[in-house]
């Protein structure tokens, strides 16, 4: 299990949105993540992106596992 979802990045800007501090951003949906959902993205509190995120379920087939190996468990 990786320490966070492979779709997760942290960024300060996207489109017209900008923040002082980098925030959780989901590259699967191309949008900033709600703070509560960010705990799933970061695999906190026993949550995991593979079991607890329906967005991950819908987009996992788009991951390039051969290149990144990010989904090796």
Residues in contact with ligand SF4 by CB under 6 A are 5, 7-8, 26, 28, 33, 37, 40-41, 49, 53, 55-56, 59
Q: Which does 10 bind (CB under 5 to 8 A by kind): ligand SF4, other proteins, none?
A: other proteins
Q: How far is CA 66 from CA 10, 25, 58, in A?
A: 23, 23, 19
User: E strands along 27-73, which residues?
Assistant: 31-32
Q: Is 40 in the site for other proteins (CB under 8 A)?
A: yes
List, in sequence order, every residue forming a beta bridge with 11; answer none if it has no partner: 23
Q: Tokens for 30, please give them.
A: 């191309």
List, in sequence order, every residue forming a beta bridge with 37; answer none if it has no partner: none
Tell me the window of 1-9, 13-21, 63-71 that interacts with other proteins (CB under 8 A).
Answer: 13-21
Residues engaged in binding other proteins (CB under 8 A) = 10, 17, 19, 21-24, 31-40, 44-47, 51-54
């Amino acid at each position: 299990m990786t320490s966070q979802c492979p779709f997760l990045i942290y960024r300060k800007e996207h489109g017209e949105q900008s923040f002082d501090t980098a925030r959780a951003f989901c590259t699967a949906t191309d949008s900033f993540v709600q703070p509560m959902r960010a705990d799933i993205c970061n695999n906190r509190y026993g949550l995991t992106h593979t079991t607890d995120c329906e967005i991950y379920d819908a987009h996992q087939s788009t991951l390039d596992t051969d290149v990144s190996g990010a989904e090796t468990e």
